[in-house]
Structure 1
Amino acid sequence: MPVVTDLRHHGDVELAPGLADLAVNVRAGTGPAWLRTVLHEAIDDSAAYPDAGPARAAVAAAHGRDPAEVLLTAGAAEAFTLLARALRPRRAVVVHPSFTEPEVALRAAAHPATRLLLRPEEGYRLDPAAVPEDADDRRALLAALPPGVEPVGEPRSSFVLLRVPDGGRVPEALRDRGWAVRRADTFPGLSRDHLRVAVRDPETSRAFTAALAGILYGGPAAEETH
């Protein structure tokens, strides 16, 4: 029988009065004096709903974003819950051992989650090849690239950097067919032959690469649109 794991078991379960806390908090001792002052002063306003505007503006300024793009959460666990409710993944794969709340959130939102267990004999390193193919949209994009288009390096994010023959004319030609990609010659060290492409679902990637092939080599694929 498979081992049943309590995904809700966190370090706070291990605590008891009088124990030195090495189970939960990453910071020892109490909060700084300025934080205690702010919290105490906030008690006077606790009868009303808090105004998240100042905090949202501060976070936006710290990260150089528009405040409208900032979502404040009560810790990372709530962020996982909100993402699981908003997304409709075709295949969710959770890497373990790791923080268990992402899997909890996925299952609570009725998304089946497949576990990818890192192996101790491999130093708990993630082998990208171990990710199921139907959960790896990046692999689907790379597999559909037309001849002559090469990925630069080993893509590990939601973007893929491509080297495209005669790339200077490609972005505008793609725009004419309804596709927007990022020209990469504005990055120091890259040329007009480099394009940065966001990874999407396999169907979108196949339509994109068909359009790209049509631009580079002509033929029916040139008429493909998404």
Structure 2
Amino acid sequence: MSAGSSAGSSAGFDPRHLRHHGDAEVRGSGAELTDLAVNVRADTPPGWLKARLAAALDGLAAYPDGRAARRAVAARHGVPSARVLLTAGAAEAFVLLARALPVRRPVVVHPQFTEPEAALRDAGHRVDRVVLDERDGFRLDPGAVPEEADLVVVGNPTNPTSVLHPADAVAALARPGRTLVVDEAFMDAVPGERESLAGRTDVPGLVVLRSLTKTWGLAGLRIGYVLAGPDTVAALERAQPLWPVSSPALAAAEACCAAPALAEAARSAETISVDRAHLAARLAEFEEIWVCAPAAGPFLLIRLPNATGVRARLRELGFAVRRGDTFPGLGPDWLRLAVRDPATTDRFITALAKALAEG
């Protein structure tokens, strides 16, 4: 069942596509591809973070102790430690939410990262969808969410649309008796983290998920965290296995929440904004391409004719891009492009022009 002004656009969607992620575009290709499919910064992790991770290896004989990292995350967001749960990436948090909370009617706002719905389905839940309308720029309409929904999942900024929803609109989804899950995995790529709800304690049922894998290039390490009320954190923690986060990952969490790292992330967010604008400007050279805008994440969503064929030709030309039809609410005419430096973008545009001319 779907709701929303473009509910029919996810009809016939194959649930198996929920498990398709950007790494599939580059894995096992046998060729050297420039990766525009995965939304992880290409120049990370930085040297100082590698050094911190290497130093953590000396303590591998001891069981992980997450207390210091938990305090660091709490201090970074100005909340008590009891409101923080460290996880093996944000993906683990979706599984915990699906299994640990007494959910009766979950609703996922699409298009967005598909893992929340996959986790809910795997836990035996029947998931309803609210599919946002491309004609409205995939803007969030709080009124489209059914009142009886007791768990609502929304991304901000949203993957794959790169739309940043106003914090007030997201908070308007909160209700007594409802868990509101906001996936802020890409919020640290937004200058000033505007529209974030991470430090809010006045929104009932709010659960904010954060990832450290995107900005810091740590997808292989698996580290993220949950910010929620103490009762919710305790319920999720009970569902975790013992020592779910490794010592190197805990060291990364502590380091990435320190003041120098936050300053570096802020500078990176500004750079991403400039590089994204360059990519958007180059894409505007093609009349047949529509770019979802305004964009706020480190990626752009585009629509173009014969996107499937163009994606295949781009692979032959050395570029991997993310197919869009595995996201509910999108179809075969959509692609997602990671933001890279201007030189990489210019090389990509040359390949794209060739692929379009041949298509």
The change in CA–CA distance for 1:134 and 1:159 in structure 2 (over 3 A counts) is: closer
Equivalence for 1:13: 24
Distance 1:57 1:126 in 2: 33
Distance 2:63 2:116 in 1: 29
Instruction: Please point out which of 138, 143, 157 is paired with 1:129.
Output: 143
Does 1:28 pair with 2:42? yes
The change in CA–CA distance for 1:60 and 1:129 in structure 2 (over 3 A counts) is: closer
Look up the equivalent residue of 1:75 and give its one-letter code. G
Equivalence for 2:13: 3
Instruction: Please point out which of 51, 66, 70 is paired with 2:65.
Output: 51
Instruction: Please point out which of 81, 91, 96 is paired with 1:77.
Output: 91
The change in CA–CA distance for 1:123 and 1:30 in structure 2 (over 3 A counts) is: closer
Equivalence for 1:188: none
The change in CA–CA distance for 1:92 and 1:49 in structure 2 (over 3 A counts) is: same
Distance 1:53 1:127 in 2: 39
Distance 1:92 1:159 in 2: 13
1:93 counterpart SS class = strand
Equivalence for 1:223: none
Instruction: Please point out which of 111, 115, 118 is paired with 2:125.
Output: 111
Contact 2:104 2:150 survives alignment (8 Å): no
CA drift of 1:42 comes to: 1.7
Instruction: Please point out which of 165, 169, 172 is paired with 1:156.
Output: 172
Look up the equivalent residue of 2:14 and give its one-letter code. V
Equivalence for 1:171: none
Give the percent of matched residue pairs that are identical in Structure 1 and Structure 2. 57
1:115 counterpart SS class = strand
CA drift of 1:79 comes to: 1.1
List gaps (5 residues or longer) in structure 1: 138-152, 161-195, 200-226
The change in CA–CA distance for 1:131 and 1:158 in structure 2 (over 3 A counts) is: closer
| Aligned length in residues | 149
CA drift of 1:48 comes to: 2.7
Distance 2:124 2:175 in 1: 28
Per-residue CA deviation, residues 162-201 of structure 1 (Å, 9 max, x unaligned), is xxxxxxxxxxxxxxxxxxxxxxxxxxxxxxxxxx9958xx
The change in CA–CA distance for 1:198 and 1:94 in structure 2 (over 3 A counts) is: closer
Distance 2:204 2:44 in 1: 44
* Structure 1 outlier segments of 4+, above 4 Å: 196-199
The change in CA–CA distance for 1:52 and 1:20 in structure 2 (over 3 A counts) is: same
The change in CA–CA distance for 1:69 and 1:124 in structure 2 (over 3 A counts) is: closer
List gaps (5 residues or longer) in structure 2: 1-10, 152-167, 177-201, 206-359
The change in CA–CA distance for 1:47 and 1:18 in structure 2 (over 3 A counts) is: farther
The change in CA–CA distance for 1:136 and 1:74 in structure 2 (over 3 A counts) is: closer
The change in CA–CA distance for 1:57 and 1:127 in structure 2 (over 3 A counts) is: closer
Distance 1:13 1:74 in 2: 20
Look up the equivalent residue of 2:18 and give its one-letter code. L
The change in CA–CA distance for 1:99 and 1:35 in structure 2 (over 3 A counts) is: same
Distance 2:107 2:43 in 1: 37
Calculate the TM-score normalised by the size of structure 1: 0.57
1:134 counterpart SS class = coil
Contact 2:95 2:116 survives alignment (8 Å): yes
CA drift of 1:100 comes to: 0.6
Contact 2:132 2:139 survives alignment (8 Å): yes
